[in-house]
Structure 1
Amino acid sequence: MRKSNKLFFYDLKYGIVKKIYRYIPIILITFFYLIYMKYTIQNSLMPDNPSWGDYLLWMFYGMEPYIPEERFIIPMAWLFMQVYIIMMVGNYAIHDLYGFGQQIMLRSKKRNYWWFSKCLYCVSTVLLYYIIINLIVFLYAIFSGAQLTLNTTQCVTCFMHSNDASLLSDNGWILSTFVLPVLTSCTFCFMQLALSFLIKPFYSYVAIIAIYIASLFYNTPLLIGNYSIIARNTVLKAGATSFGIASISNIVIMLICVIIGSIYIKKYNIIKSN
């Protein structure tokens, strides 16, 4: 147990603290996206001021289910937000596998310590990632004079998303906004780490990005990228994936990835892989 704790603290130190600069791009993207929303609303001469909830919805909205007859516009901020965290987690874990992790697995009889430490590092990195995003949204709401309520403003949301926001007048949608993106990102990070053992890391990134892009085209629970798109949640779209189904699916996939990684790491030939 002590050894696993040491590995985890090592990952926190060298994977997060000493690489804190990697959060700068998402901070800049978040600020830019929020400023763009404020600028768009101001130019529309809309009488209502956005609320904190409006800014949150704007960040995690994604896009409505794709209709072939209509123009396809990729939600670049949402896609960057989802893919960038995968790159952050994967790059560190893979580099450690061929560095310090190589020594641990060659000398230790408990190879799973390294794997479980990476899983905990993954969750910690994702949590910090979304804490930073949500903190920036909250601070921007304060300094921009927004209404400090999680309730959305109907005319603002209708203008920005062409969607009736009356269903978001209660706080039931907050779970989907705060929890599902975190769970979904953790799931993708676990998948990427597990896939890195089976195929080359580059191809694992390609596979994850392909799932995200496919999720934009096809609104189906089988493509879990849909879980982090609020526009495709039951809070906005009847018959869509519910918070419960999305959460359970994410947790099950994560557990499967942990088991696969645990089994595979015992047989992983680190010398041959080099």
Structure 2
Amino acid sequence: MLFRLVAADLRTVLKKNIITFIAIAAVTVANLVYAYGLSSVYGVRTDTLGFADNLALVFAGSAPFEPRPGVMFVPPLGWLFLILLILYTTLDYPTESLHGFGLQALVRCRARTLWWVSRFILVAAVTAFSLLVVVCSVVIWSLVVSSSFSAVVHGESLQLANLAPWFLKAAEADALPFFVGLFLAFEALAFAQAAVGFVLGSSVSFVVLMSSLICSAYARHWALLGNALMLLRWGGIVKEGIATGSSVLFSIVIMSLCLSLGGLWFRRADLIEKGDKI
């Protein structure tokens, strides 16, 4: 029953978010166009950039904000918009699960914990699909600009993102740790959004997640998961950056708390009354 529910909901959510997936692809390409357009401004050669550089540039982010007189904080809008689009694909899903077939499945299976876990399986799958859309868009871009399919991030890509060369820890680095941390951070944020959405509603969860991302753009700290989504904050190639291990561990903790503590709340919640209020 629950397997059928997850499969049916997955098809429904994917169909419902077709326009959002198109927007994700468009913003991905727009971020790359903007980054490559700065090559002449910063005097950076783009012929050395590979697939990993292009994918990392999509999530370049910004350096931590340094308050100075006359300088106003502005978050990296392209980065923020892309992340919010990806998280939007699962924004309304928790509340919608308490209606129709989802509620029927919950009543029939009588296993609230299993039902709760099944919701997060779908959230993880949809988030992974959104990231796959980003990857496919970057693959197409890399083919168009004749980039090599290298798994190495070069210092030139960070210079395109307006990072001074003296902040680089190395001229290049293996990009796999960054992408692993980025993937888990996305899943942790999606899990947190779903858990908060179940308890307080999708509007509150959206505000909480957006506030967290803005705080991440302002300050560098491992507890702000938005830092794990920024190339310019990655400790693998940037001095004083966030270590991948810290962000990965914190992401796993967040996902575990959403499943465990959220599951405890869910087992005691009056879902019939809650479903009527939504």
Same-fold call, TM cutoff 0.5: yes
Contact 2:158 2:231 in 1 (8 A): no
Per-residue deviation at 1:159? 4.4
1:34 equivalent to 2:32? Answer yes
1:67 equivalent to 2:75? Answer no
Per-residue deviation at 1:236? 3.1
Per-residue CA deviation, residues 62-87 of structure 1 (Å, 9 max, x unaligned), is 11111111553321121112222222
SS of the residue 1:89 aligns to = coil
Partners of 2:59 and 2:33 in 1: CA distance = 15
SS of the residue 1:97 aligns to = coil
Q: 1:20 to 1:113 in 2, by over 3 A?
A: farther
Matching residue of 2:200: 199
- Bigger Cα displacement from structure 2, 255-264 vs 110-119: 110-119
Matching residue of 1:131: 132
TM-score by length of 2: 0.86
Partners of 1:222 and 1:154 in 2: CA distance = 26
Partners of 1:194 and 1:156 in 2: CA distance = 36
Q: 1:7 to 1:112 in 2, by over 3 A?
A: farther
Matching residue of 1:116: 117
Contact 1:51 1:153 in 2 (8 A): yes
Matching residue of 1:86: 87
Partners of 1:209 and 1:18 in 2: CA distance = 22
SS of the residue 1:161 aligns to = coil
Q: 1:170 to 1:4 in 2, by over 3 A?
A: same
1:54 equivalent to 2:67? Answer no
Aligned-residue Cα RMSD (Å) equals 2.3
Partners of 1:159 and 1:181 in 2: CA distance = 20
Partners of 1:48 and 1:234 in 2: CA distance = 23
Per-residue deviation at 1:158? 2.3
- Bigger Cα displacement from structure 2, 9-18 vs 157-166: 157-166
Per-residue deviation at 1:120? 0.7
Contact 1:111 1:266 in 2 (8 A): yes
TM-score by length of 1: 0.88
Contact 1:51 1:141 in 2 (8 A): no
Partners of 1:168 and 1:129 in 2: CA distance = 30
SS of the residue 2:235 aligns to = coil
Per-residue deviation at 1:128? 1.4
Per-residue CA deviation, residues 104-129 of structure 1 (Å, 9 max, x unaligned), is 22333112332111111111111111
Matching residue of 1:169: 172
Equivalenced residues, count: 270
Contact 1:151 1:168 in 2 (8 A): no
Which consecutive unaligned segments of at least 5 residues does structure 1 have?
A: none
1:238 equivalent to 2:236? Answer no
Contact 1:184 1:227 in 2 (8 A): yes
State the identity as a percent: 21
Partners of 2:248 and 2:64 in 1: CA distance = 20
